[in-house]
Amino acid sequence: MTSVMTSPTSTTSDRAPRTTAELREHARAVYDPLVHHEFPLRLATGVLPPERFRFYVTQNLLYLPDYARMLASGAARAQDDATLTSFARSVMNIVDVEIPQNERLRDAVVELAGPVPEAETVKAPATVAYTSWLLALAGSGDAADISAALLPCAWSYGDIARHLQSEVVDHPVYADWIAFFASDDYAAVVDGLRAAFDPELAELTERKRARLADIFVTGCRLERQFWDQGLHGTLWPDQTG
Ligand SMILES: Cc1ncc(C[n+]2csc(CCO)c2C)c(N)n1
């Protein structure tokens, strides 16, 4: 007998992403505008006001420790040594590379634009949204949820920088930012994250992969909102009187 399965519990098509490449493709409607965001474009072309870059870097330094905490909880939840190693390396990369690099950028831009205004030293709205979401996942998610949440941050920066390489102008602070994220070393970091996550994704149920795709999309939205915040210098309403 040839029949088409029509029972409500059967799956006639499995559309949830099976690889990290498919995750990015699934998120295209938000990933593409994220990668072509105006903030990094103005950064590369040297026309971003230094006050806006100072604000962005200051907010980044409030974001990164929570990002590292989320990764550390990924390590705590890892079910195998390879996943544990991958999360632990990512934590150390934030602590040893990302945070010091952002501190250097902050110091360099403070030289150009003066000290960070008081109102910008607390988490701004998009920073609160992003870090609260990361920490909620750190509390309630498993290692796969945490991998899906970290990937948009790491991956989009590499894609952003590589797209902008041909636009880069000489700038005493901004040129270093693009060079760092467009480097082969940084591409290797992202490839390592994807290589760790791809085989894990392939083994999960469709339902779980659909949840991970939602997490990835939300991560992309939060990244885009973080750039928007930097572009417009968005503070809380009570701070802007
Ligand atoms: C809002 C925000 N999103 C992404 C990054 C980039 N980033 C975060 S962690 C990391 C290292 C790779 O895991 C990189 C490149 C950032 N700095 N700030």
- pLDDT of residue 76 exceeding 60: yes
- Residue 147 CB less than 6 A away from ligand 1: no
- Which atom, in ligand 1's list, is nearest to the CA of 102? 17
Query: What are the tens digits of pLDDT across the range 88-97?
Result: 999 999 999 9
Query: What are the tens digits of pLDDT across the range 185-238?
Result: 999 999 999 999 999 999 999 999 999 999 999 999 999 999 999 999 999 999
Question: Among residues of the chain, what percentage have pLDDT more than 70?
Answer: 94
pLDDT band, very low/low/confident/very high, at 10 (cuts 50, 70, 90): very low
Give pLDDT, residue 5: 47
What is the average per-residue pLDDT within 154-168? 95
Question: Does 51 fall in a domain?
Answer: yes
Question: Does 4 fall in a domain?
Answer: no
Question: Does 28 fall in a domain?
Answer: no
CATH of residue 178: 1.20.910.10
Burial class (CB in 10 A: 0-12, 13-18, 19+), 11: exposed
Nearest-CA residue for ligand 1 atom 3 is: 153
Question: Does 241 fall in a domain?
Answer: no
- Residue 190 CB less than 6 A away from ligand 1: no
- Number of folded domains that form the chain: 1
Which residues constitute the domain of residue 135?
Answer: 36-233
Question: Does 22 fall in a domain?
Answer: no
Give pLDDT, residue 241: 65
Query: What are the tens digits of pLDDT across the range 57-66?
Result: 999 999 999 9
- pLDDT of residue 158 exceeding 60: yes
Query: Rounded to an integer, what distance in angstroms lies between the CA atom of residue 98 and that of residue 153?
Result: 12
Question: Does 26 fall in a domain?
Answer: no
Nearest-CA residue for ligand 1 atom 15 is: 154
Render the chain in DSSP notation, one character per residue.
-------TT--S---S--SHHHHHHHTHHHHHHHHT-HHHHHHHTT-S-HHHHHHHHHHHHHHHHHHHHHHHHHHHH-SSHHHHHHHHHHHHHIIIIIHHHHHHHHHHHHHHH-SPPGGGGS--HHHHHHHHHHHHHHHH--HHHHHHHHHHHHHHHHHHHHHHGGG----TTHHHHHHHHTSHHHHHHHHHHHHHHHHHHHTS-HHHHHHHHHHHHHHHHHHHHHHHHHHHT---HHHH-
pLDDT band, very low/low/confident/very high, at 180 (cuts 50, 70, 90): confident
Nearest-CA residue for ligand 1 atom 12 is: 154
Question: Does 18 fall in a domain?
Answer: no
Give pLDDT, residue 240: 86
Nearest-CA residue for ligand 1 atom 13 is: 154
Between residues 126 and 15, which one has the greater pLDDT? 126
- pLDDT of residue 114 exceeding 60: yes
Q: Across the chain, what does the average pLDDT equal?
A: 93
Question: Does 15 fall in a domain?
Answer: no
